[in-house]
């Protein structure tokens, strides 16, 4: 499926924002891209255990949504969580430590790539069974509502998850109870290798949400400003008790579904067209076009990010693994009564 949004980020859209904010968006997105590329290389060289699901090409959805959140808001993620985690404020180091299976990782080496999270930063370990995090996010939003707290939950999932019962049950309950959750559907056109056109007759996945009586919008998910603006509007609604909101963020995975996927199911012309829609490339061009930012400034941002990630890689490579004493700990919280 070819891109349906114009490639250029509109000038009047980019003119609305401070230079520093735009540079921050670029830095956040570049950090995700660089992190994922570095991790891919670590896997290829055999330095990292496990498997990975990467998000190159989808940086604008994570960054656009998280920029619309407050620091103390919550986010739930999926088997493809690296970008969401970085955008939510987890450091490259704490994630890399986890990917290397270190006791110093954000989940003490017990989670791994598909369960990255840090509750202190508002992100519980990612839930890697498709759709499984959607009821959990709705439940977190229910708690926030019952506790009369101002926070909201951003719930990320892919196009594939909208066929799960968990999606339908949770969106419906969030709808009938007006829960403060933004459902962020990253429609990257493929659930693993299956094209979205093969799993629904609907022309748009947002119709699956409007069926539950909630506001649902389709957004250019590779234009970080478009994502940010829609997410901000959704967040305001949720905080006002008028949630939930569903955002269909149209994007494209520029990498395989997982570690060894050569993407033979994606037509070459389609891949080429979407490569041109790379969200980093589009923001970079728009920034340079605006004239306030120079190539050397962007390169300085990129260099600083690369150096920080390289330093984190060097630390994470040498970090200690868990000991066998850690094997059976952390199954239960210490009981407040009895055994």
Partner 1 sequence: MKRMGIAEALREAIAEEMRRDHRVFCMGEDIGIPGGWGGAFTVTLGLEKEFPDRMINTPIAENGFFGMGMGAAMLGMRPIVDVQYGDFLLCAMDQICSNASMMRYMSGGTVSVPLVMRAPVGATGRGAQHARNLERMFLGVPGIKIVAPSTAYDAKGLLKAAVRDGNPVMIFEHKLLYGSKGPRTESGAVDATSDIPDDDYVVPIGRAAVRREGADVTIIAWLLMAHAAQAAANVLSAEGIEAEVVDARSLNPLDYETIGASVKKTGRALIVEEGPITGGVGAEIAAGIQERFGDCLRTSVRRVASPDIPVPFAPVLENAYRPDAARVAAAVRAMCGR
The residues binding partner 1 (CB under 8 A) are 74, 105-111, 115, 117-120, 124-125, 127, 129, 132, 134-144, 146-147, 165-166, 168-170, 172-173, 176-177, 329-339
Tell me the sheet residues that pair with 220. Answer: 250
Give the shortest CB-173-to-partner 1 separation in angstroms: 6
- Residue 37 CB, shortest distance to partner 1, in Å, is 26
Adjacent-strand bridge partners of 219: 249
Q: Which is nearer to partner 1, 2 or 339 (CB)?
A: 339
Please name the residues in contact with 69: beta carbons below 8 A apart, sequence gap of 6 or more: 75, 88, 122, 152, 154, 231, 235
Nearer to partner 1, 32 or 141 (CB): 141
Give CA separation, 82 vs 93, 96, 114, 266, 326, in Å: 12, 10, 8, 23, 25
Contact 78, 133 (CB under 8 A): yes
Q: Are 253 and 58 in contact (CB under 8 A)?
A: yes
Between 101 and 221, CB nearer to partner 1:
101
DSSP one-letter code for 47: -
Whichever of 198 and 334 has its CB closer to partner 1, that residue is 334
The DSSP element (H or E) to which 298 belongs, if any, is helix 295-318
C-alpha torsion sign, points 166, 171, 177, 181: positive
Q: Which is nearer to partner 1, 138 or 286 (CB)?
A: 138
| Closest CB 94 distance from partner 1, rounded Å | 11
Query: Minimum Å distance from CB 48 to partner 1?
Result: 18
Q: What is the DSSP letter of 11?
A: H
Which of 23, 127, 24 lies closest to 75 in space, CA to CA?
A: 127
Comparing CB distances to partner 1, the nearer of 20 and 147 is: 147
Supply the minimum distance, in Å, between the C-beta of residue 168 and partner 1. 8
We find the least distance from the C-beta atom of residue 289 to partner 1, in angstroms, to be 43
Beta bridge partners of 246: 183, 216
């Amino acid at each position: 499926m070819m891109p349906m949004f114009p490639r250029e980020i509109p000038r009047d859209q980019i003119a609305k924002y401070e230079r520093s904010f735009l540079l921050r968006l670029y830095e956040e997105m570049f950090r995700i891209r660089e992190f994922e590329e570095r991790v891919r290389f670590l896997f290829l060289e055999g330095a990292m255990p496990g498997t990975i699901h990467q998000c190159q090409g989808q940086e604008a959805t994570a960054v656009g949504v998280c920029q619309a959140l407050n620091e103390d808001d919550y986010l739930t993620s999926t088997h493809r969580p690296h970008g969401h985690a970085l955008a939510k404020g987890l450091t490259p180091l704490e994630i890399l430590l986890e990917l290397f299976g270190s006791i110093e990782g954000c989940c003490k080496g017990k989670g791994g790539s598909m369960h990255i999270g840090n509750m202190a930063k508002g992100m519980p370990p990612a839930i890697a069974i498709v759709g499984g995090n959607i009821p959990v996010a709705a439940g977190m939003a229910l708690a926030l509502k019952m506790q009369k707290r101002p926070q909201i939950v951003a719930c990320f999932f892919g196009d594939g998850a909208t066929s799960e019962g968990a999606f339908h049950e949770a969106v419906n309950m969030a709808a009938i109870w007006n829960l403060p959750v933004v459902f962020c559907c990253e429609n990257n056109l493929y659930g693993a290798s299956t094209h979205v056109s093969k799993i629904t007759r609907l022309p748009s996945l947002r119709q699956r949400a409007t069926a539950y009586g909630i506001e649902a919008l389709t957004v250019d998910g590779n234009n970080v400003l478009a994502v940010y603006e829609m997410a901000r509007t959704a967040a305001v609604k949720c905080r006002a008790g008028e949630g939930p909101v569903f955002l269909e963020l149209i994007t494209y995975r520029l990498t395989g579904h997982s570690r060894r996927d050569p993407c033979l199911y994606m037509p070459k012309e389609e891949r080429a067209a979407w490569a041109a829609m790379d969200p980093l490339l589009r923001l970079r061009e728009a920034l340079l076009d605006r004239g306030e930012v120079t190539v050397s400034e962007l390169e300085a941002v990129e260099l600083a990010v690369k150096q920080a990630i390289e330093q984190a890689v060097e630390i994470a490579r040498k970090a200690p693994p868990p000991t066998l004493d850690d094997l059976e700990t952390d199954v239960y919280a210490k009981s407040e009564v009895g055994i």
